[in-house]
DNA sequence: CTTTACACTTAGAAAGATTTAA
DNA sequence: TTAAATCTTTCTAAGTGTAAAG
């Protein structure tokens, strides 16, 4: 590891080379990218690279120096490649296989998604019953809960009472709700008129280890100073995590840890491999276990204590209304867990002090008290922003904010607005599409690139792709930041023409892999863009997100690249729901359709998750159940046959009844089997698809609310409490005839 | 202009709670 | 009653996009 993160703050070479030529007059300004010193001292500990579901595709480093940003100015001018000798590429790493192949048809239209997939949601009346029962239990518990026998004695009236209570509570809550969507909006930029809160909640101070828990260096016990010990514990707590096996993580941790040590400690502890955190780790595990095994009463006590904190610190008053705060707790110190191959993973995230925190609130409010013996960094009264407190985090140097909960007015209003902008796009999307199709033929390179990028963003729902600072974060890209190695062009592939194969890491290092047939013009342009470029060069070397967004906002006020994602997600949901609509379905089937539509969107947006740890196991369990049910079915069938045989000819009523009974049994078996099989397919298909992100951020809730009304499905089958709170505005205002 | 700072949305993992199965 | 599966909540990283600063 000698020198790992060579802090490649790399030589930024703004080789602002003048494109030797072509009096680029007509051409868009050369964009200067941050030098991609992708030599990025990526200490690629080879070897590792295991089975990681989402491929952290190791693009093993490709060394190079700046690519001289060579720019072809005019389309038809094939420019001399002005190449750069210093460019060395070392192959790209092994790619990880993965499914999610949402091949799409053609035309820049929202794709038609395959609608196979089955969905959960077989719950219906059964669940309702359960719920009632659940309520009953709860009430009992509240009353000091006794054991089973008591439960059994609870009568119908009590169940009724419990239910009534729930309903009443709900109504009360409803009354409390601030119906901000019926109020007039504030003038531009003003977010609130009055804001009062208690300031953020700080994590507890570090408590030193008990004497019998020791850290060993080189086999010998070492009593660490408090700061060093705290950081050591951060590491020890993570030892079951893969992070702690990664070279980068270990190096970063060790470097930062040593900074916390006393001089003596630093002189002694020179090698992480000689550190033994075993006892600390064991202690931590034990604590976790103990917490899990607390008695009901103890858990309740904890819960109540917690609730108190939430009541005190988790709420604020904003313009006469009490609102929940989303993240009122200051992030506790720990080791930075960047995603993918993050160059800073393992670095120490320092403890935040009140002295680091800026408070924002009304001048005429009760100013929050800093913790005893401390003061705030600053108290300001800025009502053009929505945050209540902020601080600067030390690892990336970025700002962190304390903001309101998603069910607040501030967040809700913005969310609503977001969907309104997307709906507006619907009215002009045809014109915009026509325009970029035209632009594909433009004489200006920049315009063509913009058109192709837009085509991708629209058709594939790619993210905009802002530039990122090299070496500061994992190497991920979006549309505008795609590099030539991220796509492969196939004149024909699997019988399809003009296929573009995408393979890159997007946000959160989630791999995007897709083979997409594109229109010819796009394909030709891509070939052109890739001419004379090498790995590491930008595909769209004359485009960036600012240019793209500037153009978009000229086409429609408020339009930016991300609006396309919202628009295409929502419109896809609406279309799919329409297509799958069948009033004759039972609730379970309707829900299945809904979830399939949801899944189509999740696939479009490439929302993935790690397959649950127990996935294989639970899949096997389910399969076993299916198998045994099959046997049961066979048996039932045999018995039916037998019964029929016996009944034949005879007019003995008893025998006929037996036949009927057997028939029923077979039928029941078949139903259950089918249900389980559907569940299995569904689970399999959902293995690495995350439905929640789109539901939460991309799908206009009014589509779902209207669907529920039309299909006579209860809203809570689709939205849980949190979602219902967040989308209260939509639930309240949406009629059955809403159209996105 | 370009670069950087700021504010806010979007994201999956992990922790926690609840439900279901054994 | 326990264990496992599943759903919900919390957490905070990682994006987008705009405005201010240089």
* Cβ atoms of A662 and A636 closer than 8 Å: yes
Segment A451-456 mean pLDDT: 97
- Phi/psi at A503 (nearest 5 deg)? -155, 100
Segment A139-150 mean pLDDT: 36
Average pLDDT, chain A: 79
* Cβ atoms of A315 and A322 closer than 8 Å: yes
* Cβ atoms of A498 and A520 closer than 8 Å: yes
Q: Which residues pair with A402 in a beta bridge?
A: A389
Residue A319 CA to nucleotide C17 C1', Å?
A: 28
User: Tens digit of pLDDT for each residue in A547-605?
Assistant: 999 999 999 999 999 999 999 999 999 999 999 999 998 888 888 899 999 999 999 99
Catalytic residue (one of A313, A436, A512, A698): A698
This prediction has a pTM of 0.78
Q: Give strand C nucleotides closer than 7 A to any protein Cβ.
A: 1, 4-9, 11-18
Name residues 480-519 of chain A with a Cβ under 7 Å from nucleic strand C.
506-509
Between CA A579 and CA A32 the distance in angstroms is 46
Between CA A696 and CA A623 the distance in angstroms is 32
User: Tens digit of pLDDT for each residue in A112-138?
Assistant: 232 223 333 333 333 333 333 333 333
Asked if the Cβ of residue A390 lies within 7 A of any atom of strand C, the reply is no
Range of weakest confidence among A99-103, A450-454, A496-500: A99-103
Residue nearest to nucleotide C18 (CA to C1'): A546
Asked if the Cβ of residue A618 lies within 7 A of any atom of strand C, the reply is yes
Multiple choice CATH, A571-733, 3.30.70.3270, 1.10.132.10, 3.10.20.30, 3.20.20.100: 1.10.132.10
The pLDDT-based confidence of A384 (bands split at 50, 70, 90) is: very high
User: Tens digit of pLDDT for each residue in A631-657?
Assistant: 878 888 888 888 888 877 777 778 778
User: Tens digit of pLDDT for each residue in A39-75?
Assistant: 333 333 333 333 333 333 333 323 232 233 333 333 3
Residue A286 CA to nucleotide C3 C1', Å?
A: 19
Q: Which residues pair with A325 in a beta bridge?
A: A404
Residue nearest to nucleotide C7 (CA to C1'): A720
Range of weakest confidence among A64-78, A174-188, A266-280, A481-495: A64-78
E strand residue ranges, A329-484: 334-335, 348-349, 358-360, 378-380, 389-392, 399-402
Residue A435 CA to nucleotide B7 C1', Å?
A: 32
* Cβ atoms of A271 and A255 closer than 8 Å: no
What pLDDT sits at residue A68? 31
Between CA A65 and CA A87 the distance in angstroms is 6
The pLDDT-based confidence of A623 (bands split at 50, 70, 90) is: confident
Segment A692-711 mean pLDDT: 97
Residue A179 CA to nucleotide C7 C1', Å?
A: 28
Asked if the Cβ of residue A542 lies within 7 A of any atom of strand C, the reply is no
Residue A553 CA to nucleotide B8 C1', Å?
A: 19
Q: Is the pLDDT of residue A107 over 50?
A: no
What pLDDT sits at residue A451? 97
- Residue among A206, A270, A277, A275 at smallest CA distance from A236: A277
Residue A125 CA from chain centroid, whole number: 32
Residue bearing the bigger pLDDT, A100 or A488: A488
Superfamily of domain A178-405: DNA Topoisomerase I, domain 2 (2.170.11.10)
Segment A175-204 mean pLDDT: 92
Helix (H, G, I), strand (E, B) or coil at A447: helix
Name residues 45-104 of chain A with a Cβ under 7 Å from nucleic strand C.
none
Asked if the Cβ of residue A581 lies within 7 A of any atom of strand C, the reply is no
Segment A330-342 mean pLDDT: 96
**Across the beta sheet with A399-402, what order do the strands follow?**
A378-380, A358-360, A389-392, A399-402
What pLDDT sits at residue A43? 32
Q: Is the pLDDT of residue A329 over 80?
A: yes
Most confidently modeled range among A257-271, A657-671, A678-692: A257-271
User: Tens digit of pLDDT for each residue in A192-244?
Assistant: 999 999 999 999 999 999 999 999 999 999 999 999 999 999 999 999 999 99
* Cβ atoms of A39 and A63 closer than 8 Å: yes
Residue A430 CA to nucleotide B8 C1', Å?
A: 29
What pLDDT sits at residue A633? 80
Residue A68 CA to nucleotide B10 C1', Å?
A: 34
> Which sign, positive or negative, has the C-alpha torsion A656, A661, A666, A670?
positive
Residue nearest to nucleotide B20 (CA to C1'): A130
Residue A293 CA to nucleotide C2 C1', Å?
A: 12
Q: Which residues pair with A322 in a beta bridge?
A: A317
What pLDDT sits at residue A662? 82
Name residues 143-162 of chain A with a Cβ under 7 Å from nucleic strand C.
147-148
Could you count the other beta carbons within 10 Å of the beta carbon of residue A542? 23
Crossing angle, helix A701-711 and helix A561-580, to 10 degrees? Answer: 10
Residue A245 CA to nucleotide B9 C1', Å?
A: 32
Q: Give strand B nucleotides closer than 7 A to any protein Cβ.
A: 1-3, 6-14, 16-20, 22
The pLDDT-based confidence of A683 (bands split at 50, 70, 90) is: confident
Asked if the Cβ of residue A411 lies within 7 A of any atom of strand C, the reply is no
* Cβ atoms of A86 and A100 closer than 8 Å: no
Between CA A433 and CA A448 the distance in angstroms is 13
Segment A478-495 mean pLDDT: 97
The pLDDT-based confidence of A158 (bands split at 50, 70, 90) is: low
Q: Is the pLDDT of residue A97 over 50?
A: no
Between CA A576 and CA A704 the distance in angstroms is 12
CA distances from A720 to A169, A427, A587, A715 (A): 17, 32, 17, 8
Residue bearing the bigger pLDDT, A528 or A107: A528
What pLDDT sits at residue A290? 87
Range of weakest confidence among A248-252, A345-349, A418-422, A531-535: A531-535
CA distances from A206 to A86, A228, A230, A476 (A): 50, 11, 7, 36
**Across the beta sheet with A215-217, what order do the strands follow?**
A220-222, A215-217, A275-276
A698 classed as catalytic: yes
Residue bearing the bigger pLDDT, A628 or A455: A455
Q: Is residue A47 packed enough to be buried (19+ CB in 10 Å), middle (13-18) or exposed (0-12)?
A: exposed
Residue bearing the bigger pLDDT, A10 or A299: A299
The C-alpha R_g of chain A, in whole angstroms, comes to 30
Residue % of chain A over a pLDDT of 70: 77
A251 contact partners, CB below 8 Å, separation of at least 6:
A1, A4, A5, A43, A346
What pLDDT sits at residue A31? 36
Give strand letter and number of the nucleotide nearest A32 (CA to C1'). Answer: B2
What pLDDT sits at residue A131? 33
Asked if the Cβ of residue A326 lies within 7 A of any atom of strand C, the reply is yes
Range of weakest confidence among A148-162, A353-367, A417-431, A677-691: A148-162
Name residues 679-698 of chain A with a Cβ under 7 Å from nucleic strand C.
683, 692
Give strand letter and number of the nucleotide nearest A12 (CA to C1'). Answer: B3
User: Tens digit of pLDDT for each residue in A493-527?
Assistant: 999 999 999 999 999 999 999 999 999 999 999 99
Asked if the Cβ of residue A39 lies within 7 A of any atom of strand C, the reply is no
What pLDDT sits at residue A235? 98
* Measured CA angle at A681 (ends A675, A686), to 5 deg: 120
Asked if the Cβ of residue A565 lies within 7 A of any atom of strand C, the reply is no
Residue nearest to nucleotide C12 (CA to C1'): A331
- Phi/psi at A488 (nearest 5 deg)? -130, 135
**What are the boundaries of each domain within chain A?**
178-405, 571-733
**Across the beta sheet with A487-493, what order do the strands follow?**
A487-493, A496-505, A511-517
Q: Is the pLDDT of residue A179 over 60?
A: yes
- Residue among A506, A518, A681 at smallest CA distance from A607: A506
What pLDDT sits at residue A190? 94
Give strand letter and number of the nucleotide nearest A477 (CA to C1'). Answer: C15
Residue bearing the bigger pLDDT, A197 or A141: A197
Burial readout A322-348 (b: 16 or more C-beta within 10 A, e: otherwise): ebebbbbebeebbbbebbbbbbbbbbb
Helix (H, G, I), strand (E, B) or coil at A622: helix
Q: How many residues does chain A have?
A: 740
Segment A438-461 mean pLDDT: 96
Q: Is the pLDDT of residue A626 over 70?
A: yes
Segment A252-274 mean pLDDT: 97
Between CA A44 and CA A30 the distance in angstroms is 33
* Measured CA angle at A455 (ends A453, A461), to 5 deg: 90
DSSP structure string for A563-609: HHHHHHHHHHHHHHHHHH--TTS-HHHHHHHHHHHHHHHHHHTT-B-
* Cβ atoms of A362 and A194 closer than 8 Å: yes
Residue A565 CA to nucleotide B11 C1', Å?
A: 14
What pLDDT sits at residue A157? 58
* Cβ atoms of A540 and A452 closer than 8 Å: yes
Give strand letter and number of the nucleotide nearest A403 (CA to C1'). Answer: B8
């Amino acid at each position: 590891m000698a020198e790992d993160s060579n802090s490649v703050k790399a030589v930024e070479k703004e080789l602002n080379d003048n494109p030797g030529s072509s009096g680029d007059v007509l051409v868009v300004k050369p964009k200067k990218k941050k030098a991609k010193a992708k030599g990025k001292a990526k200490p690629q500990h080879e070897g590792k690279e295991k089975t990681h579901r989402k491929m952290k595709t190791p693009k093993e480093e490709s060394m190079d120096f700046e690519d001289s940003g060579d720019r072809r100015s005019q389309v038809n001018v094939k420019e001399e490649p002005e190449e750069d000798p210093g460019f060395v590429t070392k192959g790209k790493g092994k790619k990880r296989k993965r499914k999610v192949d949402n091949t799409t048809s053609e035309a820049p239209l929202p794709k038609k998604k395959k609608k196979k997939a089955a969905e959960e949601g077989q719950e219906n009346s059964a669940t309702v019953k359960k719920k009632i029962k659940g309520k009953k239990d709860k009430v009992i518990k509240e009353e000091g809960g006794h054991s089973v026998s008591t439960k059994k004695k609870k009568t119908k009236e009590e169940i009724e009472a419990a239910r009534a209570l729930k309903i009443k509570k709900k109504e009360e809550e409803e009354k409390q709700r601030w119906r901000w969507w019926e109020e007039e909006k504030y003038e531009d930029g003003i977010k609130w008129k009055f804001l009062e809160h208690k300031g953020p909640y700080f994590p507890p101070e570090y408590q030193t280890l008990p004497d019998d828990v020791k850290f060993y260096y080189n086999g010998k016990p070492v009593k660490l100073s408090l700061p060093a010990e705290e950081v050591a514990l951060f590491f020890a707590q993570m030892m079951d995590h893969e992070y702690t096996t990664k070279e980068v993580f270990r190096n970063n941790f060790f470097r930062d840890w040593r900074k916390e040590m006393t001089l003596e400690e630093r002189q002694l502890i020179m090698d992480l491999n000689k550190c033994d955190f075993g006892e600390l780790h064991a202690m931590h595990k034990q604590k976790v276990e103990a917490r899990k095994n607390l008695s009901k009463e103890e858990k309740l006590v904890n819960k109540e204590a917690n609730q108190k904190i939430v009541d005190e610190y988790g709420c604020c008053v904003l313009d006469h209304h009490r609102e929940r705060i989303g993240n009122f707790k200051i992030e506790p110190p720990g080791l930075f867990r960047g995603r993918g191959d993050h160059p800073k993973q393992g670095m120490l995230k320092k403890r935040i002090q009140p002295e680091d925190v800026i408070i924002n609130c009304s001048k005429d409010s009760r100013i929050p008290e800093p913790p005893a013996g401390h003061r705030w960094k600053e108290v300001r009264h800025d009502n053009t922003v929505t945050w209540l407190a902020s601080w600067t985090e030390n690892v990336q140097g970025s700002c962190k904010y304390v903001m309101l909960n998603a069910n607040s007015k501030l967040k809700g209003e913005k969310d609503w607005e977001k969907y309104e902008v997307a709906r507006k796009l619907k009215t002009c999307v045809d014109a915009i599409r026509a325009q970029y199709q035209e632009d594909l033929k433009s004489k200006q390179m920049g315009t063509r690139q913009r058109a192709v990028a837009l085509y991708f963003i629209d058709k594939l729902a790619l993210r905009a792709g802002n530039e990122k600072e090299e070496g500061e974060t994992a190497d991920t890209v979006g549309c505008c930041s795609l590099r030539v190695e991220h796509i492969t062009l196939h004149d024909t592939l699997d019988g399809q023409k003009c296929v573009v194969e995408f393979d890159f890491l997007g946000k959160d290092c989630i791999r995007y892999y897709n083979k997409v047939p594109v229109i010819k013009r796009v394909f030709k342009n891509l070939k052109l863009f890739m001419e004379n470029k090498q790995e590491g060069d930008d595909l769209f070397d004359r485009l960036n997100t600012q240019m793209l967004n500037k153009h978009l906002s000229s086409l429609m006020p408020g339009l930016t690249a991300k609006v396309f994602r919202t628009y295409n997600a929502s419109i896809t949901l609406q279309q799919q729901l329409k297509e799958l609509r069948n009033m004759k379905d039972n609730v379970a089937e309707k829900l299945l359709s809904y979830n399939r539509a949801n899944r189509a969107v999740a696939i479009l947006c490439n929302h993935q998750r790690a397959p649950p740890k127990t996935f294989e196991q639970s899949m096997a369990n389910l399969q076993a159940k299916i198998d045994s049910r099959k046997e049961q079915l066979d048996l039932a069938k045999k018995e039916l046959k037998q019964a029929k045989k016996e009944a034949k000819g005879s007019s003995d009523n008893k025998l006929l009844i037996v036949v009927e009974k057997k028939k029923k049994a077979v039928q029941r078996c078949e139903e259950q089997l089918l249900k389980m099989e559907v569940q299995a397919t569904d689970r399999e298909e959902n293995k690495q698809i995350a439905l929640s992100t789109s539901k939460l951020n991309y799908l206009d809730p009014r589509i779902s609310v209207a669907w529920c009304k039309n299909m006579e499905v209860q809203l809570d089958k689709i939205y849980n409490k949190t979602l219902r709170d967040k989308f209260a505005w939509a639930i309240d205002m949406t009629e059955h005839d809403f159209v996105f």
